[in-house]
Amino acid sequence: MNRYSYSYDIAVVGGGPAGLAAAITAARKSKKVVIIEKNGYLGGNLTIGIPPLGFLDENGRQCIAGFGEEFIERLKADGACYGHRYCPKHNSVSNLDAEYVKIAAFEMCRDAGVDVLLHLETLSVECADGRIKSALFYGKCNQVTITADIFIDCTGDGDLSYLAGCQYEKGRGEKGELMPPTVMCTIEGVDDSKLLDHIEQHPDEMRPMCATIDTPTGYDAAYFKADPNYIFVGMTTLFDKLKKEGKNPVARGNMIVINGVHKGQMYVNTTRLLHVDATDVLDLTRAEIEGHLQLKKLVEVFRQYVPGFENCYISSIAPSLGVRETRRFLGERYVTYQDALSANVPDDTICLSGYKIDIHFDGPAGTLFQKVDKPFGVPYGALVSRDMNNLLFAGRNISVDEHVIGSTRVMSCCMAMGQAAGLGACMALDGNCPPKSVDIAALRSELLAQGAILSME
Ligand SMILES: Cc1cc2nc3c(=O)[nH]c(=O)nc-3n(C[C@H](O)[C@H](O)[C@H](O)COP(=O)(O)OP(=O)(O)OC[C@H]3O[C@@H](n4cnc5c(N)ncnc54)[C@H](O)[C@@H]3O)c2cc1C
């Protein structure tokens, strides 16, 4: 077996939206940075077809920028993203080319001087005196030991923090219910004009699928026809009918498709895998298999019943299950539902979150989709481990409650947190102090200088 050992200033584990932002930001500050990723590419859920939501708030004002904005602009320049568009339902959408993300991610890491290690998954963590000393990664009969001054856990599930024995929460209520994951796929051969004509003539197809969601004014055929940058959530009447006839292959009451940046291409976000704990490999296996089998039936339903989808076909299936929620690690600060609903923007805010509390229930057709009237602040301490003195986290694994994750999990916010974690790590190294002791006013000034938005005032 090959055995390698490397030493870094900062090790970022996980190369999704949060990890990319953290690693690239830190490397641009002349730190020696490595990003370690279990897949053979970078991008995490940015590569499964979903568009970053939440760059704009409920009222269409931009509330997240900085690294995320740069990323979107870069994709736009290469014809791989439409940019941000206000959406009456999702605040904003920024549809992109999921494959191209992988190329842009490598280019940006190369340009910033980030060392990239792929095909490696965390195996164990060595801790001493309240610090992570090193982490051991395994892949393809190779072992790699990484020693670093500071670790940033951007694995989504918080695998590094888990192996370090840090405290975490998981799920909602007594049963610890988790949001169901989805196997995404790309379809081609769609003529969306037929779908949009159909919903123009049958507005009932845009009815919400459950009582906790409404169909906002303006989320209609005219909106979709005006611009190809949209997520379509609808066909409720059709899916109700299919359910009554026993022909609906998925545990949801409508279809979600995301219009691609190439003609006739759509990303399908409609499968729903119930009772899955994505930190358990047996559940993961079952979900992957069920999700693939659902896709076959679902695309058959699309072809047979959805106008414009008669000739569609699956051109690719996302290489790994899309996981919405697992562990949330406890930090120096903790953001609550009340903080979100009261639009609390504390003095130590390092980014805003203006997206809805969007929680998919682990049942046949339920979602909580609650407006956040004004963006709330994510404090720096929500990214700083309360257990390990040299550990930060960014992304969906941060220190928030079971409701707040419904908002902060969107990828615009994950990138903003990653940028802040990357900078926080650099300032800790420069100041020769633990991440929790950095000068937050100075961190905020630097974030502002890098284009981040920290207040809507
Ligand atoms: C089906 C679905 C639809 C969604 N829709 C939207 C949407 O429309 N818009 C939106 O903005 N958000 C959406 N979200 C939420 C969003 O995608 C995630 O919350 C977000 O991607 C989290 O970012 P992250 O960087 O924390 O994690 P991820 O994007 O999951 O990235 C984590 C990375 O870490 C790697 N990794 C994991 N464990 C290890 C390990 N042990 N060792 C090494 N590498 C590891 C993974 O391979 C991955 O590359 C959706 C999520 C799902 C699942």
CA angle 90, 276, 95 (to 5 degrees): 25
Measured between alpha carbons, how far is 133 from 47 in angstroms, rounded to an integer? 32
Q: Are residues 80 and 221 in the same domain?
A: no
Measured between alpha carbons, how far is 396 from 280 in angstroms, rounded to an integer? 18
Quick one: pLDDT at residue 365?
63
Q: Using CA of residue 370, residue 241, residue 268, residue 234, what is the dihedral sign?
A: negative
DSSP 348: T
Quick one: pLDDT at residue 363?
80
Q: What are phi and psi of 75, to 5 degrees?
A: -65, -40
Contacts of residue 262, Cβ cutoff 8 Å, sequence gap at least 6: 97
Distance 310 CA to ligand 1 centre (A): 31
Q: Using CA of residue 154, residue 157, residue 163, residue 165, what is the dihedral sign?
A: positive
Q: Are residues 127 and 11 in the same domain?
A: yes
| Nearest to 95, CA basis, from 77, 123, 72 | 72
User: In the chain, what is the straight-line distance between the N-terminal and C-terminal CA atoms, in Å?
Assistant: 57
Q: Are residues 122 and 253 in the same domain?
A: no
Measured between alpha carbons, how far is 46 from 42 in angstroms, rounded to an integer? 9
Q: Are residues 343 and 310 in the same domain?
A: no
Give mean pLDDT, residues 400-418: 98
Residues pairing with 8 in the sheet: 148
Pick the residue with more confidence: 368 or 97?
97
Which ligand 1 atom is nearest residue 412's CA? 11
Q: Are residues 281 and 385 in the same domain?
A: no
Among residues 298, 317, 336, which one ends one of the domains? 317
Give mean pLDDT, residues 353-359: 96
Quick one: pLDDT at residue 214?
79
Distance 156 CA to ligand 1 centre (A): 6
pLDDT at residue 364 above 80?
no
Predicted confidence (pLDDT) per residue in 385-407, tens digit: 999 999 999 999 999 999 999 99
Q: Are residues 76 and 150 in the same domain?
A: yes
In a domain, 44, yes or no: yes
Confidence of residue 34 (pLDDT cuts 50, 70, 90): very high
Q: Are residues 292 and 337 in the same domain?
A: no
Helices and strands: H and E segment counts in the chain = 12, 20
Among residues 256, 289, 317, which one ends one of the domains? 317
Number of domains in the chain: 2
In a domain, 237, yes or no: yes
In a domain, 457, yes or no: no
Residue to mutate, 84, 91, 155, 324, ligand 1, most ligand atoms under 8 Å from C-beta? 155
Average pLDDT, the chain: 96
Q: Kindly state the tokens that stand for 194.
A: 């037929």
Residue to mutate, 35, 39, 45, ligand 1, most ligand atoms under 8 Å from C-beta? 45
Quick one: pLDDT at residue 401?
98
Predicted confidence (pLDDT) per residue in 427-449, tens digit: 999 999 999 999 999 999 999 99
Name the closest-CA residue to atom 39, ligand 1: 155
CATH of the domain at 44: 3.50.50.60
Q: Are residues 313 and 330 in the same domain?
A: no
Quick one: pLDDT at residue 338?
97
In a domain, 454, yes or no: no
Name the closest-CA residue to atom 17, ligand 1: 45
Give mean pLDDT, residues 226-245: 96
Give mean pLDDT, residues 268-292: 97
Q: Note whether 352 and 75 are within 8 A (CB).
A: no
Quick one: pLDDT at residue 355?
97
Quick one: pLDDT at residue 368?
87
What is 84-144 written as a DSSP string? -EEETTTEEE--B-HHHHHHHHHHHHHHHT-EEE-S-EEEEEEEETTEEEEEEEEETTEEE
Predicted confidence (pLDDT) per residue in 193-234, tens digit: 999 999 999 999 998 877 777 788 999 999 999 999 999 999
Quick one: pLDDT at residue 90?
95
The model carries a pTM of: 0.98
| 267: helix, strand or coil | strand
| 373: helix, strand or coil | coil
Expressed as residue numbers, the domain containing 279 is 185-317
In a domain, 136, yes or no: yes
Residue to mutate, 50, 55, 72, ligand 1, most ligand atoms under 8 Å from C-beta? 50
Distance 395 CA to ligand 1 centre (A): 8
Contacts of residue 254, Cβ cutoff 8 Å, sequence gap at least 6: 209, 233, 234, 235, 236, 239
Predicted confidence (pLDDT) per residue in 148-177, tens digit: 999 999 999 999 999 999 999 999 988 899
Share of the chain above pLDDT 90, in %: 94
In a domain, 456, yes or no: no
In a domain, 84, yes or no: yes
Which ligand 1 atom is nearest residue 36's CA? 43
Q: Are residues 341 and 369 in the same domain?
A: yes
Predicted confidence (pLDDT) per residue in 7-33, tens digit: 999 999 999 999 999 999 999 999 999
- Residue ranges around ligand 1 (CB below 6 Å): 13-19, 36-39, 44-45, 50-53, 121-122, 154-157, 159, 181-182, 184, 269, 322-324, 395-396, 409-411, 414
In a domain, 266, yes or no: yes
| Nearest to 357, CA basis, from 244, 249, 212 | 212
Among residues 317, 336, 359, which one ends one of the domains? 317
Q: Are residues 155 and 224 in the same domain?
A: no
Measured between alpha carbons, how far is 132 from 127 in angstroms, rounded to an integer? 4
Give mean pLDDT, residues 257-281: 97
Q: Are residues 20 and 159 in the same domain?
A: yes
Lowest-confidence pick of 300-309, 361-370, 432-441: 361-370
Confidence of residue 367 (pLDDT cuts 50, 70, 90): confident
